[in-house]
């Protein structure tokens, strides 16, 4: 009775997702697939601790993201010890890692990082406080070839396509285009204008036009030009001509158009991915300085951007005396996976990785069943022995409920295919499934 | 200049390990190997969030482990929101998960969990504040067959052996033996006596004898009996006879001896693992009620226990009205891996997963090189194209430095084996390496 009184009422912690075994199996398979794509392009894994020093997390100047701090429950750390927080992305830890281990790394350094990140936001549908990101970045010393600007989104496209959850498309731009264009128009507050144009998709052209006119006091023909360039979205190199037609001359603009044209061409050599030169893409207030990328999931356009990234001139300026240009992209994995779970559209197959359930009927059979199982395991199969003496029907029900594809009769040395119902004699040393087993 | 002033001095955060890419590659390979062993026995993955509610973490009554609490940096959460802490093991989250998802799980539920845990301890050599544990547990409703008491340590032995880092041995006991024995001796403060005997290995027999006599006021012959049973360690069933010879009669003792004898027998049917019935093993003040396990790494005996576990009558009594007996074991992965890194005895092979580096000499070659790479990738190989136009010697140096095993000459359609120096003509559609490539 007393124990009952002390029992805790459990409720899910809002914003911290957790999956059932059959969902987790799919999540693992998808994460494996992403990792395998990253590795096929020679990217190497790093993992950084969940925590970073608060001064590192805050080094960007403004706390863009709500952060979690971490402290000993028993009391404050010694005053000379650093204060920690949970990382809110994988880019800041990566920059710190490269600066800290600079002498031990080989450049260009191509790394991937698949980890949880934490943000102390008020949770809402499709937003999480803990979620997985899958990042790739290439970083080099002083100079990084433009070819990587195409390789990175091509790899991410392949990784997304490999999830087998519908179509994705990539929207690419180059920050130099909009910056140069706005400069060429004689706009002095280029950053402010970019910030306003970044909201075009959300607020619509009318609202943006009003904001440009009111906040920046731009004349009507200038705001018209701004809206025209921001709505250029082409599947081929014709975007460049469309920009030229607007009649603005600027060197940075020229450079941006040239880079984006090369990026499109290089991308097509690498990937069959559906891709657009989309001049509305600016990636907000991030540290990007050239190419910028956004990926959209065509099955769920309302979900917005599910992967994003770009090129930066110098990632680790707060931590390193080296100039370290790079290009990278991040997949918001939990955004995608959480949506599949919420919509009940996850292709679940099994509740456990077991491929073969070995049955037995009595104590002597139990020992033989265990031997059969060990032989099958030594050949790489995932095998369970049924856990107690029980009637065959009960054992078959168990296999069925858990989605185990093959059922082994120890008594008859025979195997039943649970989906076709067919049954054949079998030897544990030589048996192979008719078709490759998933997982 | 201003930027330089603001630059942060980076130092590793003590107790939060982080590995170089070549170390991380080995860590990933080892974690994959453990996961694959767990899955071969039909265990399914679950993952719980890094945080739990503080009342869940503190439900055991006493805060055995130093904990970290997590709070929004910007200010306290709403007062009605739960307070969080980072989990300090994977058992409490597992118990909470089973209780919370009880209706959606199939029993017996066999799960593995490979995750980081956090402890706010003062770090010292071989101790971490963030470290990886690899746990397996089987849990059932009301009753769990004794056969799992052998399966769990057999699986862990296979997982440890699969790491290929030297020999491990398992020390098994059953708490009922010592409890029953102490009861049979007429000792009333059984738990207190167990606690003292648990320190035998650390403090030695003289100190333990003195403590038993002083704290519990036990007569000399009783303390002698206590020491005798706690030093019994046998590789076969003869431990039972050795206990019997001490002449103590008790029903719980009988049951314990029977269970441990069965465990040893069942274990040998499953595993070639080096195993001892070691009656000094008690697993401190944990919730174990029957079988208890410890694994030692023979290469580094001073490191102590590297994996441990046991059977419990009811895991989730604080969270559930169900009686949920189980048996499980946890591998202290980072303890093992960190020791290998610290001793420089890690078998590092490569700095990246790249198996083939494709070289080229000019712009036209670059495009052909990318095509060759895509063909090889479609066949499952990990391939990098050298990142810029450069002399062949420089490209060969790059492959060498990163430990890339094969070098592809786009110009000659030939492949060089970097370790033997041999070079052969090759077609990307049909080429295969002479021997399987590691990783």
A2 touches B at CB < 8 Å: no
A260 in Cβ contact with A184 (< 8 Å): no
- Between CA B400 and CA A114 the distance in angstroms is 27
β-strand B326-332 against B291-297: which pairing, if any?
Answer: unpaired
**pLDDT, tens digit (0-9, with 9 covering 90-100), for A273-303:** 899 999 999 887 678 999 999 999 999 998 9
**Distance in angstroms (rounded) separating the CA atoms of residues A181 and A201:** 19
Give the pLDDT of residue B364: 87
CB A38 within 8 A of CB A136: yes
Q: Give how far A208 is from chain B: nearest CA, Å.
A: 31
> Is the predicted pLDDT of residue B432 greater than 70, yes or no?
yes
Predicted confidence (pLDDT) at residue A115 exceeds the cutoff of 80 = yes
Rounded alpha-carbon distances, angstroms, from residue B8 to A60, A83, A139, A324, A352: 11, 14, 20, 16, 47
Per-residue pLDDT band at A12 (split at 50, 70, 90) = confident
| pLDDT of amino acid B412 | 84
Between CA B191 and CA B209 the distance in angstroms is 16
Indicate left, alpha or beta for A283 from its phi (over 0: left) and psi (-120 to 50: alpha): left
- Is the Cβ of B1 closer than 8 Å to some Cβ of chain A? no
Q: pLDDT band at A125, cuts 50/70/90? A: confident
- The ipTM value here is 0.94
Give residue B270's pLDDT band: very low, low, confident or very high (50, 70, 90). confident
Q: What is the mean pLDDT of residues A41-45?
A: 98
Better pLDDT: B46 or B218: B46
Question: What burial class does residue A254 get, using C-beta atoms within 10 Å of its C-beta: 0-12 exposed, 13-18 middle, 19+ buried?
Answer: middle
> Which one, of B140, B133, B114, B147, lies nearest residue B44 by Cα?
B114
- Chain A residue nearest residue B78, CA to CA: A122
Angle at A272 between CA A269 and CA A275, to 5 degrees: 95
| Kind plus residue range of the DSSP H or E element containing B152 | helix B147-161
User: For residue A315, is pLDDT > 90?
Assistant: no
**How far is CA B283 from its chain centroid?**
16
Going by DSSP bridges, is the β-strand pair A44-45/A109-118 parallel, antiparallel, or unpaired? parallel
Q: Assess whether pLDDT exceeds 70 at residue B6.
A: no
Please tell me which of the candidates A27, A319, A387 has its beta carbon nearest to residue B8: A319
A84 touches B: beta carbon within 8 Å = yes
Residues 6+ apart with CB under 8 A from B284: B195, B198
pLDDT > 70? residue A67: yes
B12 touches chain A (CB under 8 A): yes
Q: How far apart are CA B30 and CA B36, in angstroms?
A: 10
Contact A105 B21 (CB under 8 A): yes
pLDDT of residue B83: 87
The whole-number pLDDT of residue B252 equals 97
Angle between helices B190-197 and B205-216 (to 10 degrees): 160
CA B51 to chain A, closest CA, distance in angstroms equals 8
Contacts of residue A298, Cβ cutoff 8 Å, sequence gap at least 6: A166, A167, A168, A169
Q: What is the pLDDT of residues B49-76, one digit of tens each?
A: 999 999 899 887 655 568 999 998 886 5
Average pLDDT over residues B1-23: 78
Q: Does B68 touch chain A (CB under 8 A)?
A: yes
Percent pLDDT > 90 in chain B is 74
Cα dihedral: A394, A398, A399, A404 (round 10): 180
CB contacts of A117 in chain B (<8 Å) are: none
* B328, B136 Cβ separation under 8 angstroms: yes
Instruction: Kindly report, residue by residue over B302-360, the tens digit of the pLDDT.
Output: 998 999 999 998 888 888 889 999 999 999 999 999 999 999 999 888 999 999 999 99
Farthest CA pair distance, chain B: 91
A387 touches chain B (CB under 8 A): yes
Whole-angstrom Cα distance, residue B262 to residue B266? 6
Distance CA B393, CA B409 (A): 12
Handedness of CA A77, A82, A83, A85 (dihedral sign): negative
- The tens digit of pLDDT for each residue in B172-212 reads 999 999 999 999 999 999 988 988 998 888 899 999 999 99
pLDDT single digits (tens) B277-290: 999 998 876 789 99
**Secondary structure (DSSP) of B411-437:** TTTEEEETTT--EEE--TTT---SSPP
Contacts of B351 in chain A (CB under 8 A): 44, 106
If DSSP codes are grouped into helix, strand and coil, which group holds residue B190? Answer: helix
The answer to whether the CB atoms of B8 and A318 lie below 8 A apart is: yes
Query: Torsion-angle region of residue B304: left (phi > 0), alpha (psi -120 to 50) or beta?
Result: left
pLDDT digits (tens, 9 = 90+) for A145-188: 999 999 999 999 999 999 999 999 999 999 999 999 999 999 99
Instruction: State percent of chain A over pLDDT 70.
Output: 94
Per-residue model confidence as pLDDT tens digits over A348-370: 889 999 999 999 999 889 989 99
Specify the pLDDT at position B2: 43
Instruction: Evaluate the CA torsion angle B419, B421, B424, B428 in order and state its sign.
Output: positive
Would you say the pTM of this structure is higher than 0.90? yes
Q: Which of A56-70, A111-125, A306-320, A417-431 has the highest mean pLDDT?
A: A417-431
Q: Which residue has the higher pLDDT, A47 or B61?
A: A47
Is the pLDDT assigned to residue B152 strictly greater than 90? yes
Interval B397-428: pLDDT, tens: 999 999 999 999 988 889 999 999 999 999 99
Which of B13, B318, B381 faces A8 most closely, judged by CB atoms? B318
Smallest CA–CA distance from B93 into chain A, residue = A18
Nearest in space to B13 (alpha carbons), one of B164, B158, B128: B128
Cα–Cα distances in angstroms (integers) from residue A320 to residues A393, B113, B163, B270, B367, in the given order: 67, 37, 37, 54, 35
**Contact predicate B44/A8, CB 8 Å:** no
Per-residue pLDDT at B120: 87
């Amino acid at each position: 009775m007393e124990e009952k009184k002390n029992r805790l009422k459990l409720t899910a912690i809002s914003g911290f997702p957790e999956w059932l075994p059959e969902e987790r199996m799919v999540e693992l398979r998808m994460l494996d697939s992403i990792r395998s794509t990253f590795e096929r392009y020679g990217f190497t894994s790093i993992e950084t601790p969940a925590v970073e020093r608060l001064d590192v997390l805050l080094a960007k100047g403004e706390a863009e993201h709500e952060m979690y701090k971490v402290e000993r429950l028993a009391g404050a750390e010694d005053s000379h010890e650093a204060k920690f927080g949970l990382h809110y992305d994988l880019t800041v830890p990566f920059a710190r890692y490269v600066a800290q281990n600079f002498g031990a790394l080989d450049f260009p350094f191509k790394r991937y990082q698949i980890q949880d990140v934490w943000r102390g936001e008020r949770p809402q549908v499709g937003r999480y406080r803990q979620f997985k990101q899958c990042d790739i970045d290439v970083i080099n010393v002083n100079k990084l070839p433009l070819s990587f600007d195409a390789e990175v989104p091509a790899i991410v496209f392949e990784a997304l396509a490999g999830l087998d959850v519908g179509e994705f498309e990539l929207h690419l731009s180059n920050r130099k285009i909009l910056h140069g264009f706005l400069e060429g128009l004689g706009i002095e507050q280029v950053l402010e204008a970019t910030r306003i144009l970044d909201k075009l998709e959300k607020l619509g052209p009318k609202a943006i036009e009003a904001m440009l006119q009111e906040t920046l006091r731009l004349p009507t023909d200038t705001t018209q030009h701004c809206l025209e360039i921001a709505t250029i979205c082409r599947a081929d190199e014709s975007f460049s001509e469309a920009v030229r037609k607007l009649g603005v001359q600027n060197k940075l603009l020229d450079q941006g158009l040239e880079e984006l044209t090369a990026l499109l061409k290089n991308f097509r050599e690498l990937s069959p991915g559906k891709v657009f030169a989309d001049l509305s893409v600016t990636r907000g207030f991030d540290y990007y300085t050239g190419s910028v990328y956004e990926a959209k999931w065509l099955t769920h356009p309302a979900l917005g951007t599910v992967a994003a990234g770009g090129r930066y001139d110098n990632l680790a300026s707060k931590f390193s005396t080296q100039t370290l240009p790079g290009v990278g992209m991040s997949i918001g994995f939990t955004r995608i996976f959480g949506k599949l779970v919420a919509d009940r559209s996850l292709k679940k197959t099994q509740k456990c990785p077991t491929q073969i359930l070995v049955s037995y009927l009595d104590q002597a059979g139990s020992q033989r069943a265990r031997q059969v199982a060990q032989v099958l395991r030594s050949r790489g199969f995932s095998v369970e022995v049924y856990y107690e003496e029980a009637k065959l029907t009960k054992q078959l029900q168990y296999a069925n409920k858990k989605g185990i594809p093959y059922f082994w009769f120890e008594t008859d040395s025979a195997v039943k295919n649970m989906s076709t119902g067919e049954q054949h004699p079998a030897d544990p040393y030589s048996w192979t499934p008719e078709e490759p087993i998933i997982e």
